[in-house]
Structure 1
Amino acid sequence: MNPMSVAVQAGFRRGWIELRQSLTNGMDLFGQFFWPLLTLVALFFMRNGTFEASGVGLGSLALPGVVGMLIAFTGMFGIAQYLALDREDGTLLRAKATPNGMVGYLVGKITTTAGLIGIQVVLVLGGGALLVGGVHLDSVTAWTTFLWVLVLGTLATLPLGAIIGSVFESPRTMGFISFPIMGLVAISGIFYPITSMPGWLQGLAQVFPIYWLGLGMRSAMLPDSAVAVELEGSWRQLETVAVLGVWTVIGLVIAPIVLRRMARRESGANLAVRREKAMQRAY
């Protein structure tokens, strides 16, 4: 059998094992599902509000955006945290020393992260539908739109997570990147329509995939009447495909280059230095 195929198959198996382990570990469960549960609480308090005079419920508007936000947030931070942690404890160095080990490693992390995205989406979608209602996934077209936005959004964000994770050598330094990402969430129309924001913020939000993930999910999950609160009064699905597709291509082109450079820099000496710094912080 082709050695590359063996590495890919091993990566899938590793990913599923890690996913099962993360679902049986208390700390992992807390870390993965704290924010989804917190967003459900926020949706609960928004359930009776409406957007201006449109009559569209804020909770119903926010739920699809929250689903899109979780795809982006978990896609970027999930794999980035794995990379940062595994660089510090030597897992990445061991993968590098194994024939085709980096391929299997990355396939495994992508499998684990994609699985977590799917579980979080099901949790928030099901819980949100019970809490705020307004979800209209009642046709083949709606489900088709939901699935292609989910898949394309995952493909657009996972490579970005790999790029972010390759930049930060320690998981303790990754907190810095959370602030600009949370800022993007705030201006991307997740909890409140983007049409209520200044024009320059609307333009900035449309550069990044978070806004388009939210818009794509709203186009799948909300009735046609809700499109009135969107920019241009349109779901803009072609633009959604284009922007998410561009981010996918950018990520898939840049991520392998960055990861190869990161792997080349990994050595026993660098690992020892990072461990020494970690011990100094511990004491």
Structure 2
Amino acid sequence: MNPVLHAAKLGVLRGWIEFKQMLKNPQEFGFNIIMTIVFLVVLYFQRNKTIEGNDMALAMFALPSLLGMLVVFGGFMGAATTLTFEREDGTLLRAKATPNGMVSYLISRIISVTTFSMVSVIMLLMPGLFLIKGLADTSWSGWLLLLLIFIIGILATLPWGAVVGSLVKSTASSFNLTMLPLGALTAISGIFYPITSLPDWLQVIGQIFPVYWLGLGMRAALLPETAVLAEIGESWRYFEMFGVLGIWTIAGFLIVPKILRRMARKESGSTMEKRKQEMMSRGY
């Protein structure tokens, strides 16, 4: 077998094993369960509230938007924090020292991040179908669009998470540089309430980033056609949606290989030991 293909196969296998290990890890999987419960409680209290100028329940609008947000958090934060942690514990150094090890490593990251993000989406979606009337009536084309949005969402965010994970010096820095900006973007991207309720300049900023477009895509997939009246221009804007997400995807995959190669060249036993000593001096 071709060495690169063999490495890719090992990467898929490793990614799947890591995914199963994450499901058994109370710390990692437990956080997802808690967040899902929090979101469901928010949706429960929104179920009888309607969007201004529209008789659609606010919870019906918010659930698909939250699914889009989960894709962003899963792809971006999942890649950033994992890459940073495994650079600190020597996993990346071992991959670098193995023939085609980086190929195997990167594929395993894609598999584990994608599968874990999919579980997060399903955990919120399944109870949401019973909580919010109307979502269960989604057509097969709507479910197909949801799957497509999920895939392109992961592709548009995972490379940028890897870039952040490659550039920061510690796991704590990685968390701060992902969680805080994503939280701010969520607030201006029409996740909990239509973006049209925000000032025009905030709407412009929100539309630059994937969070808004993934929320829009999920709403287009799951909501009835009348829900489009709450959107900008009363349109799902498929062309703009796939265009913006496509630009983030292409730019990410053009940039991330260069960043990762540069990071891998800098990795050595001495640099890893230096980071370990710095962590110990900070009391970690």
Normalised-by-shorter TM-score class: over 0.9
How far off its partner does 1:156 sit?
Answer: 0.6
Q: 1:31 to 1:92 in 2, by over 3 A?
A: farther
- Identical columns (%): 46
Alpha-carbon separation, structure 1, partners of 2:215 and 2:129: 16
Q: 1:31 to 1:165 in 2, by over 3 A?
A: farther
TM-score, length of structure 2 as denominator length: 0.96
Indicate if the aligned counterparts of 2:22 and 2:28 stay in contact, CA closer than 8 A.
yes
Letter in 2 for 1:183: A
How far off its partner does 1:169 sit?
Answer: 2.2
Q: 1:79 to 1:34 in 2, by over 3 A?
A: farther
How far off its partner does 1:136 sit?
Answer: 5.1
Alpha-carbon separation, structure 1, partners of 2:257 and 2:283: 33
Alpha-carbon separation, structure 1, partners of 2:245 and 2:197: 23
Q: CA deviation digits over 1:63-97, x for unaligned, max 9?
A: 00000000011100001111010011111111111
Q: 1:170 to 1:33 in 2, by over 3 A?
A: farther
Query: What is the match of residue 122 of structure 2?
Result: 122
Which stretch shifts more, 43-52 or 16-25? 43-52
Secondary structure of the structure 2 residue equivalent to 1:174: helix
Q: CA deviation digits over 1:102-155, x for unaligned, max 9?
A: 110110011000001111111111122222333155323212211211111111
Q: 1:37 to 1:265 in 2, by over 3 A?
A: farther
Letter in 2 for 1:202: Q
Indicate if the aligned counterparts of 1:87 and 1:170 stay in contact, CA closer than 8 A.
no
Aligned residues: 283
Q: 1:240 to 1:137 in 2, by over 3 A?
A: farther
Q: Does 1:159 align with 2:162?
A: no
Q: CA deviation digits over 1:207-230, x for unaligned, max 9?
A: 001100000010010000110000
How big is the alpha-carbon RMSD for the aligned residues of Structure 1 and Structure 2?
Answer: 1.3
Q: CA deviation digits over 1:182-237, x for unaligned, max 9?
A: 10011000000000000000000000011000000100100001100000000111
Indicate if the aligned counterparts of 2:77 and 2:175 stay in contact, CA closer than 8 A.
no
Query: What is the match of residue 223 of structure 1?
Result: 224
Uncovered stretches (5+) of structure 1, i.e. residues with no partner: none
Q: 1:67 to 1:137 in 2, by over 3 A?
A: farther
Q: Does 1:138 align with 2:138?
A: yes
Secondary structure of the structure 2 residue equivalent to 1:52: coil
Query: What is the match of residue 98 of structure 1?
Result: 98
Indicate if the aligned counterparts of 1:70 and 1:121 stay in contact, CA closer than 8 A.
yes
Q: 1:100 to 1:120 in 2, by over 3 A?
A: same
Alpha-carbon separation, structure 1, partners of 2:96 and 2:205: 38
Alpha-carbon separation, structure 2, partners of 1:25 and 1:179: 25
Query: What is the match of residue 107 of structure 1?
Result: 107
Indicate if the aligned counterparts of 1:137 and 1:143 stay in contact, CA closer than 8 A.
no
Q: 1:142 to 1:279 in 2, by over 3 A?
A: same
Alpha-carbon separation, structure 2, partners of 1:175 and 1:9: 30
Q: 1:79 to 1:240 in 2, by over 3 A?
A: same
How far off its partner does 1:29 sit?
Answer: 1.2
TM-score, length of structure 1 as denominator length: 0.97
Secondary structure of the structure 2 residue equivalent to 1:181: helix
Alpha-carbon separation, structure 2, partners of 1:80 and 1:245: 20
Alpha-carbon separation, structure 1, partners of 2:38 and 2:169: 29
Uncovered stretches (5+) of structure 2, i.e. residues with no partner: none
Alpha-carbon separation, structure 2, partners of 1:34 and 1:258: 34
Secondary structure of the structure 1 residue equivalent to 2:44: helix
Which stretch shifts more, 61-70 or 156-165? 156-165
Indicate if the aligned counterparts of 1:136 and 1:223 stay in contact, CA closer than 8 A.
no
Q: 1:171 to 1:40 in 2, by over 3 A?
A: same
Indicate if the aligned counterparts of 1:36 and 1:70 stay in contact, CA closer than 8 A.
no
Alpha-carbon separation, structure 2, partners of 1:131 and 1:139: 18
Query: What is the match of residue 253 of structure 1?
Result: 254
Letter in 1 for 2:101: G
